[in-house]
């Protein structure tokens, strides 16, 4: 068995006062993806949006398994005196949040998992990583040129813009803010889910799905309920996978009700 690397001190954005609520982004994302959500929640809570390992302004590392990323989050929050906390995780961040809830349940006041289930997924992002790696990082590169390269793998302009938020054109030569090599090496682990069969998190849990997304399916609910016995479910009609960005008002209404319950 591979020895986990030491926990990293993660970069974060903090706003508000009160009980801590922690926001964990998905693959290729960063803390700023929760800008609107963080500002609104900060009216009532101490809201900490983290950059996960190899993303945003956080340190890079050659490995990023879910136990390692969970340890990063716990170490960072402990250093900030922000435990126990409510965790809100989207996609990959949702899996990190579930890993924390199972490994350190006393540190999790509540758990909200956004459009991901505790199961393995296909390596659907391999094409995106390959396309990003194919962008020629040469002086003078424009965002439009990079977009044309990504379009060969991803027809959705919105998804391409989400990926391109990681492209740094403010340095010479340009580069990626995320660690593409480490993410590529970790894709199989990030797509997988290897839970401890003995672990259960019995605190309050809410799974929020986008109706146009297939990341949480009806057939996932028995497995979710087995691992999270208090789990509730909500579906937002006018949203796909990026639920909080596509339907922020409805997302905030549902999340706010869960946090105040």
**How confident is the model over 11-20, as pLDDT tens digits?**
999 999 999 9
Residue span(s) of the chain under CATH 3.40.50.1820 come to 12-119+193-260
- Write down the pLDDT at residue 244: 96
Residue 157 has pLDDT above 60, yes or no: yes
Q: What is the mean pLDDT of residues 67-92?
A: 98
Active-site entry in 25, 90, 128, 241: 241
Query: How do residues 183-198 score in pLDDT, each as one tens digit?
Result: 999 999 999 998 777 8
- Write down the pLDDT at residue 136: 95
Percentage of the chain surpassing pLDDT 70? 99
Query: How do residues 17-32 score in pLDDT, each as one tens digit?
Result: 999 999 999 999 999 9
Active site residue 128: no
Active site residue 91: yes
Its CATH class, for the domain covering 12-119+193-260, is: alpha beta
Percentage of the chain surpassing pLDDT 90? 89
Active-site entry in 30, 55, 65, 91: 91
Q: Under 8 Å CB-to-CB from 197, ≥6 apart: which residues?
A: none
pTM: 0.96
């Amino acid at each position: 068995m591979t020895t986990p690397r030491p926990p990293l001190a993660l970069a974060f954005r903090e706003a508000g006062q009160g009980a801590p609520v922690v926001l964990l982004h998905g693959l290729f994302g960063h803390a700023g993806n929760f800008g609107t959500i963080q500002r609104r929640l900060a009216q009532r809570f101490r809201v900490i949006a983290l950059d996960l390992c190899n993303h945003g302004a956080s340190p890079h590392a050659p490995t990023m398994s879910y136990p390692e990323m969970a340890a990063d989050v716990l170490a960072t929050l402990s250093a900030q005196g922000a435990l126990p906390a409510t965790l809100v995780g989207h996609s990959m961040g949702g899996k990190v949040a579930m890993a924390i809830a199972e490994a350190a349940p006393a540190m999790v006041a509540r758990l909200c998992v956004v459009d991901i289930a505790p199961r393995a997924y296909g390596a659907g992002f391999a094409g995106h990583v390959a396309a990003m790696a194919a962008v020629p990082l040469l002086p003078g590169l424009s965002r439009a040129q990079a977009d044309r390269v990504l379009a060969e793998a991803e027809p959705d302009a919105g998804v391409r813009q989400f990926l391109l938020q990681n492209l740094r054109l403010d340095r010479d030569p340009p580069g990626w803010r995320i660690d593409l090599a480490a993410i590529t090496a970790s894709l199989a682990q990030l797509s997988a889910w290897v839970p401890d069969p003995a672990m259960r998190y019995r605190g309050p849990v809410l799974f929020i799905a986008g109706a146009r997304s297939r990341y949480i399916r009806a057939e996932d609910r028995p497995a979710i309920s087995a691992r999270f016995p208090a789990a509730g479910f909500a579906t937002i009609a006018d949203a796909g996978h990026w639920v909080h960005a596509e339907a922020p008002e409805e997302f905030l209404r549902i999340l706010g009700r869960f946090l105040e319950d």
